[in-house]
Amino acid sequence: MTPSETRAIVTLSLLAAFVDGEKHERERAEIKRIAEGLSQADGVQLPMLYQDVLMKRVSLSAVAAELKSSESKQLAYEMAVCVCDADGTQSEAERMFLADVRTSLGLDAPAAQQFAQEAEEIAAVPLAPAVAAAAPAATVDNAELDQAILNAAILNGALELLPETLSTMAIIPLQMKLVYRIGRAHGYELDSGHVKDFLATVGVGLTSQYLEQAGRKLLGGLLGKVGGGMLRGLGKQAVSSGMSFAATYALGHVAKRYYAGGRTLSTQMLKEAYASVTQEAQSLQTRYLPAMQEKARTLDAGKILSMVRGA
């Protein structure tokens, strides 16, 4: 992929992030932070692209003209879909935008719509399983929750190693399900709105997290259908520094602390706890990398939706 195609894909993703005009200021700040953090990658000046999108100095037609190959067009569309679905099912503005993207890129409509449907299904999976779960136990099994947090972190770390766009998108609903499970274990029945607020409070944006994870893969040359669906050099975890493993591990343990304490921690305390546990999780990354690699070898795009449903 040429640098101009990479820039075009990133620009299209940023256009998708702001198309509904309803991004919270803290999410905008996170996207700006990510743009600045990735600014040196592959010669792509992300801060400049970010400003161009916010100031409406770029158009969809101009971006589409930069995408020459069918592979880059498909990848650009997939990333735009996942950005739109990262914080939940698409708004009307997002659906209209994606329809314009399909037309501008000249994509095969049935195939493009099938991908959008798969992404929507992942975005719309409910937190609670279809079959009613057993009532929370009178006493919380902390060892069981600790193992569930570690398993979720390893799974999301494995998803980060895969090249498919949908694998990256699946990380967010799996994180939300983990928080839901922990809250329920402590006697709290949570809805998706509460879980999203919890993630936002500790500093995890939904759209921004997807942009950062997918952006690191893209700029590292690792995002796309490669080698029959497996990542080239499966151990190239350094591209994203085990971000999904650390974020999931930290979310789980901070949620456990929060709900065990009767939801009394302040916003500042939650942010500080998340930052502290994230640092701890990063030190565990090397230890659990073999487990992530092994898990990644058992996953493919076809299993993602059933995995999210059954988590």
282's CB contacts (< 8 A; 6+ apart) are 241, 242, 246
Nearest of 63, 12, 19 to residue 218 by alpha carbon: 12
Q: How confident is the prediction along the chain (311 residues), in pLDDT tens digits per residue?
A: 788 888 898 899 989 988 877 666 777 777 877 777 665 555 667 778 888 888 889 999 999 999 999 889 999 999 999 999 988 878 899 999 999 999 999 998 888 988 988 888 888 888 876 545 555 556 788 999 999 999 999 999 999 888 888 888 899 999 999 999 999 999 998 998 899 999 989 988 888 888 888 877 777 765 655 443 444 444 444 445 478 999 999 999 999 999 999 999 999 999 999 999 999 999 998 899 999 999 988 887 677 777 787 75
The amino acid at residue 239 is V
Give the contacts of 283 (CB within 8 A, at least 6 positions apart): none
Contact between 140 and 107 (Cβ < 8 Å): no
What's phi and psi for 125, nearest 5 deg? Answer: -60, 125
CA distances from 227 to 220, 252, 296, 300, 306 (A): 16, 33, 14, 12, 23
C-beta neighbour count of 129 within 10 angstroms: 12
**What are the b/e assignments for 110-126, b being 16+ CB within 10 Å?**
eebeebbebbbbbbebe
The pTM score is 0.85
Count of residues in the chain = 311
Under CATH, what is the fold of the domain 3-122? Answer: TerB-like (1.10.3680)
| Range(s) within the chain of domains with CATH label 1.10.3680 | 3-122
Tally of CB atoms within 10 A around 155: 24
Smallest CA-to-CA distance from 204 within 256, 246, 161, 141 is with 246
pLDDT given for residue 10 in this prediction: 87
